[in-house]
Amino acid sequence: MEIINIHQAKTHFASLSKRALDGEEIIVSKHGKPLIKLVPVSTSKIPARQFGRHPQSLGQDAQQRALAPLTEDELGNWTVQ
């Protein structure tokens, strides 16, 4: 653990951030009083995104019906306004 005054923290923020990400605990103080602790944000609570098919995705037959051209009867149901 290292205690850094606020002016030093402002001046060296990028390097202090890297040190905190590497696991070091950095305390920022003002007039000798600790104010802030730099620590990495834990990402363990954020679930990983799962890629792939939607669990309710259309089956092969439904996909073919959805992509097929409309019949004359189906086209007749559409009106132009």
Residue 15 has pLDDT above 80, yes or no: yes
Q: Rounded to an integer, what distance in angstroms lies between the CA atom of residue 14 and that of residue 26?
A: 12
Q: 36 forms bridges with which residues in the sheet?
A: 28
pLDDT in tens, 25-70: 899 999 999 999 998 877 556 667 777 767 677 788 888 888 899 8
SS3 assignment for 15-61: HHHHHHHCCCCEEEEECCEEEEEECCCCCCCCCCCCCCCCCCCCCHH
Ordered domains of the chain (ranges, CATH): 2-38 (3.40.1620.10)
Supply the pLDDT for residue 79.
Answer: 74
